[in-house]
Amino acid sequence: MAWLPTLAAKQGEHLRADHLRYARRKTGTGALHCFVLDCSASMLARGQLALAKGLLAALFDRARNDRVEVALIAFGGTRAELRFGPAVPRWWNERWLAPIGAGGGTPLAAGMEAAARVLQSSARRDTARHRHVWLLTDGRSTQWPARPRHADHVTVVDFETATVRLGRCAALAEAWDAQCIDAHALLATGASAF
């Protein structure tokens, strides 16, 4: 409610519905953060999927507080699906994070194609909007998809915990001219990534 304009419209009369004036709600930064979550069997090995879901919950809480739109794409087995958004997350985000399971192969190309569709749709609606892609993976994929075309910034969050590290997350980030960050380091920042 915009009280000063409402009182000015009222001008000493009894308050009526036609006197009411409303303030525009601030909608945040206008950014879109698209999270692409690896739900393949390898993400279950040492609890990486549980860590990724905890990190997502913290990031979505931050997005909710900042009124930033997010989207979540989960990929595993043979497909990728849009699980949330694009929208500003609400308090109930654990309800749709909890049922995300893992298994099967790592269809990274399908996940990045789904992200590209979300970003392209966002670019059509608002050309000035900043679009950020976050790939949360352990890098255990043989696929090497192209960087999403409409992404202004890409971050590869590395969940690799094996004794013998393959380093595919860092290699993919380098090929995409993206940032690569270790999942534990991101978690330590308190989800201040936005």
In a domain, 176, yes or no: yes
- Is residue 122 located within the same domain as residue 42? yes
Strand order in the sheet with 69-76: 79-87, 69-76, 32-38, 131-137, 153-158, 179-182
Q: Are residues 80 and 129 in the same domain?
A: yes
Domain assignment present for residue 109? The answer is yes
| Whether residues 129 and 90 fall in one domain | yes
> Do 146 and 123 belong together in one domain?
yes
Q: Is residue 193 part of a domain?
A: no
- Average pLDDT value for the chain: 82
pLDDT above 50: residue 100: yes
Q: Could you tell me if residue 13 is inside a domain?
A: yes
Decide if 194 is inside a domain.
no
pLDDT band at 37 (very low <50, low <70, confident <90, very high): very high
Looking at per-residue confidence, does 96 or 50 come out higher?
A: 50
Domain membership of residue 6 (yes or no) is yes
Give the CATH number, domain containing residue 183.
3.40.50.410
Q: 122 and 97 in one domain?
A: yes
Together in a domain, 36 and 2 = no
My answer on whether 43 and 3 are in the same domain is no
pLDDT tens-digit map of 118-165? 998 888 887 777 899 999 999 888 888 989 889 999 999 999 887 777
Per-residue pLDDT of 11-34, as tens digits, reads 888 888 787 776 655 444 578 999
Residues 41, 91, single domain; the answer is: yes
Task: Kindly state whether residues 82 and 17 are assigned to the same domain.
Answer: no
18: domain range?
Answer: 1-27
Are 96 and 47 in a shared domain?
yes
83 with 104, same domain? yes
Specify the pLDDT at position 94.
62
- Any idea what DSSP says for residue 142? S
Domain count, the chain: 2
**Confidence (pLDDT) at 190:** 57
Is residue 157 within 8 Å of 181, Cβ to Cβ?
Answer: yes
Res 26: pLDDT: 47
d(CA 84, CA 75): 13
Dist CA 160 CA 182 (whole Å): 8
How much is the pTM?
0.79
Query: For residue 193, is pLDDT > 70?
Result: no
Q: What gap in Å lies between CA 186 and CA 189, rounded to an integer?
A: 5
pLDDT at 44: 82
The conformation of residue 125, written as its DSSP 8-state character, comes to: H
Whether residue 117 has pLDDT greater than 90 = yes
**Domain-embedded: residue 3:** yes
pLDDT at 177: 93
Indicate if 9 and 104 belong to the same structural domain. no
